[in-house]
Amino acid sequence: MNLGKQNDNKWKKALFGAAIGIALSGILALSLYQLSGQGLYLAIIGLGAGIGFSIGGGLDQQI
């Protein structure tokens, strides 16, 4: 078992999850911002990035 390779894959999955989280939450946040005009919705982008990073980092098994 190569732990270095396994650790690299975990980081790649975590960063990929963060990228997906940013993209999806960005779409949601920008659409809510356009509807309401309140800048607080833009904080959803950071929240989505954190959630995506957490979920992506926990994906040890192949789906």
Q: What is the pLDDT of residues 35-58, one digit of tens each?
A: 888 877 778 877 887 887 777 776
Which residues are CB-contacts of 5 (< 8 A; sequence separation ≥ 6)? Answer: none
Domain count, the chain: 1
37: containing domain = 14-57
Is residue 7 domain-resident? no
What mean pLDDT, rounded, does the chain reach?
Answer: 77
Is residue 4 domain-resident? no
For residue 34, pLDDT over 80 is answered with yes
Cα separation of 20 and 30, whole Å?
Answer: 15
Which residues are CB-contacts of 52 (< 8 A; sequence separation ≥ 6)? Answer: 17, 18, 19, 20, 21, 22, 24, 25
Is residue 46 domain-resident? yes
More confident of the two residues 33 and 4: 33
pTM score of the predicted model: 0.67
Which amino acid is present at 57? G
Confidence grade of residue 22 (pLDDT, cut at 50, 70, 90): confident
> Running DSSP on this structure, what letter comes out for residue 41?
G
Is residue 2 domain-resident? no
